[in-house]
Structure 1
Amino acid sequence: MEAKFLPHILVVDDVATNIRLVASILAEQSYELSFATSGKDALQQIQAQAFDLILLDLMMPGLSGLDVTRQLKQDERYASVPIVFITARSDEGAILEAFEAGAADYVTKPFLASELLARVQTQLNLKETRDQLQERNQELNQNVQLKNQLLSIASHDLKNPLSVINGFAQLLQNRPGIQTDPDAREMLKYISQAALRMNNLIEELLDTAALELGKMTLRCETMSLAPIMEKLLKGFQQPLAKKRQQLACQGDFETRIWGDPARIEQVIENLISNAIKYSPEEAQLRVDVQNREGWLELRVHDQGPGFSAEDQSRLFGYFQRLSAQPTGGEVSTGVGLAVVKQIVELHAGEILLEKTSQKGSTFLVRLPAQATAQA
């Protein structure tokens, strides 16, 4: 059976009868008590053992209660220990001076036993809460440090070897002996594709960690979607052709926005990639762009199986595995849409699943459009 924690209280007073009175009141509770009859004795005991609360007489010969408090509050080892003054003085100046020195509370002599117990228990409860918060904060800081270490490992120790693997695989594919060996070329192609998939996964995990730590920075400029779409259409030619799909684009892609071109490209690329992955062969996909009431609205339409109510509730969460599966054996990490949502929101925009059915779904991205100068 786990031992019950008993709060340890130090009672400091130069008058023995006062110590006995306080001890008799506190003895009714589950406290561990220690006693000191001077400020010097109190400091020695505090340095030798831990206390959860100090009941301290304000007026003592030699080191007064104020002197003891000031010394303790200057030392970070004891600064968090609550000090409750016991004093016969009730004037405003004395009370103010006590709080300025670092007191948490005070009790004026003569006092009721119930008042003393209430004030002591309140301070103990507050200290316990502060200690729990501090412990939790330390755990969070350790987690942040661990994530930073993982970010460093992923960005250097993992990505660099993958780049080497992919680079040599591509070089080998161009060797004369390999070009005449279909099996070798196919194996090298698989090696290169696997390295690229792993690299993409690492990139998504790095983005996830950077977003959670608030370390993703945007390099914004005035931009349009036209060059991004031109690049993406070229990049998606092969996966579209592999599944005999068509991708139509229509609308005002020249609308100007304030954004990070690389991150906006990441958003659109992810949505189109998902549309290709989850739509069947010969599907008709579409990307529409409108400038409506000061917002650029981009819609990506697919012909996938749609999303159940349960899937919709988890759609933009991290590491979610939804019921729909890629139709061509493609790989999904389960973090893409979560990252996309964060990037869009960093641009003061929003993303949502506008509609969904068994015949397809439409994702809508809204970003603030820049006003067009009038001649």
Structure 2
Amino acid sequence: MVELARANPALLPRDLLLQRIERHAHTGLELADGFVDLARAEAQPFHAELLDLVELATQAIDNAWAQGRRKQVRLSLTTELEEAPCIGDRGLLARALANVVGNGLKYSPSGSELVCRITERHASWGVAIQDQGPGIAAEQQKQLFQPFHRLHRESHPEVHGVGLGLLLVRTTLQRHGGSVEIESAENEGCTVILVLPKPAAATLQSLSNAHLHDAP
């Protein structure tokens, strides 16, 4: 690109050249960060501890508040649960939640709402992040977890990304014995549901005892 500008300066004005260089540099940094995050999700030591999904989801929504305000998207969390205990790695789960919330915000139109709902299932918890974006056709949903595959590239060229976020999320959930579900239809928004298993009562008791033992 730089060589082209030098050889034919009239073809690529300086401002446009700088914009393209900045965009490519930003994409390169995103790609590097994506690889690092994915490698961590796949292979970093698993620091299991007793966590509360209500707390983690609340933090994810709070952390995205500024981004939502810039886009004029309302963020909210709703649940009838006081807590949703699970066993997991705090850093990995926080990153997965941030990815899903951030991805939903990227495609949310101004004036819309992004809602996080936490529900109890038979043997698991469901953390659903629902946006009011363009939605995903059924035939495209199978491609969501393919690396470097980005939907809506043509319809939303302003949205940046490298196509590793949902793969990271699925990898993280699988390491926790959970899964990722997609509920969407074209032009009807998208709901990404993180499903995490409830811990066994004996495991909860053991971790609670260990916490009391370690407390000063």
Same fold at TM > 0.5: yes
CA distance in 2, matches of 1:328, 1:289: 32
CA distance in 1, matches of 2:153, 2:26: 24
Look up the match of 2:194.
365
Look up the match of 1:313.
142
> Where in structure 2 are the equivalents of 1:155-174 lying within 5 Å?
none
Two-structure CA RMSD over aligned residues (Å): 2.9
For the pair 1:338 / 2:138, whether they are aligned, the reply is: no
Q: Alpha-carbon deviation of 1:371? A: 4.6
Q: Deviations over 1:226-279 (max 9, x none)?
A: 332343233212211111111110113621000001111111111111111011
CA distance in 2, matches of 1:215, 1:296: 24
TM-score, normalised relative to structure 1? 0.44
Q: Deviations over 1:170-192 (max 9, x none)?
A: xxxxxxxxxxxxxxxxxxxxx9x
Q: Alpha-carbon deviation of 1:293? A: 1.0
Q: Deviations over 1:125-162 (max 9, x none)?
A: xxxxxxxxxxxxxxxxxxxxxxxxxxxxxxxxxxxxxx
TM-score, normalised relative to structure 2? 0.73
Look up the match of 2:38.
208
Is the Cα–Cα contact under 8 Å of residues 207 and 216 in structure 1 kept in the other structure? Answer: no
Return the match for 2:129 from 290, 295, 300: 300
Which amino acid in 1 is paired with 2:199?
Q
For the pair 1:232 / 2:53, whether they are aligned, the reply is: no
Partner secondary structure for residue 271 of structure 1: helix
CA distance in 1, matches of 2:102, 2:131: 10
Is the Cα–Cα contact under 8 Å of residues 300 and 362 in structure 1 kept in the other structure? Answer: yes
Is the Cα–Cα contact under 8 Å of residues 61 and 77 in structure 2 kept in the other structure? Answer: no
Is the Cα–Cα contact under 8 Å of residues 267 and 343 in structure 1 kept in the other structure? Answer: yes
CA distance in 2, matches of 1:253, 1:272: 21
Look up the match of 1:287.
116
In our comparison, the structure showing a higher alpha carbon Rg is 1
Look up the match of 2:48.
220
Structure 1 residues 324 and 306: alpha-carbon distance in aligned structure 2, compared to 1, 3 A threshold: farther
Is the Cα–Cα contact under 8 Å of residues 54 and 118 in structure 2 kept in the other structure? Answer: no
Q: Alpha-carbon deviation of 1:326? A: 8.0
Structure 1, gaps ≥5 residues long: 1-190
Structure 1 residues 233 and 352: alpha-carbon distance in aligned structure 2, compared to 1, 3 A threshold: closer
Q: Alpha-carbon deviation of 1:208? A: 3.1
Larger relative contact order, structure 1 or 2 (CA cutoff 8 Å, min sep 6): 2
CA distance in 2, matches of 1:361, 1:231: 21
For the pair 1:329 / 2:167, whether they are aligned, the reply is: no
For the pair 1:272 / 2:122, whether they are aligned, the reply is: no
* Matched pairs, number: 181
Partner secondary structure for residue 314 of structure 1: coil
> Where in structure 2 are the equivalents of 1:69-80 lying within 5 Å?
none
Which amino acid in 1 is paired with 2:142?
S
Look up the match of 1:347.
176
CA distance in 1, matches of 2:150, 2:112: 23
CA distance in 2, matches of 1:330, 1:239: 13
Q: Alpha-carbon deviation of 1:290? A: 1.1
Partner secondary structure for residue 169 of structure 2: helix
> Where in structure 2 are the equivalents of 1:28-177 lying within 5 Å?
none
Q: Alpha-carbon deviation of 1:357? A: 3.6
Q: Alpha-carbon deviation of 1:225? A: 2.2
Is the Cα–Cα contact under 8 Å of residues 61 and 101 in structure 2 kept in the other structure? Answer: no
Which amino acid in 2 is paired with 1:286?
V
Which amino acid in 2 is paired with 1:368?
P
Which amino acid in 2 is paired with 1:321?
R
Which amino acid in 1 is paired with 2:32?
I
CA distance in 2, matches of 1:326, 1:269: 24
CA distance in 2, matches of 1:242, 1:258: 34
Partner secondary structure for residue 320 of structure 1: coil
Look up the match of 1:154.
none
Residue identity (%): 25
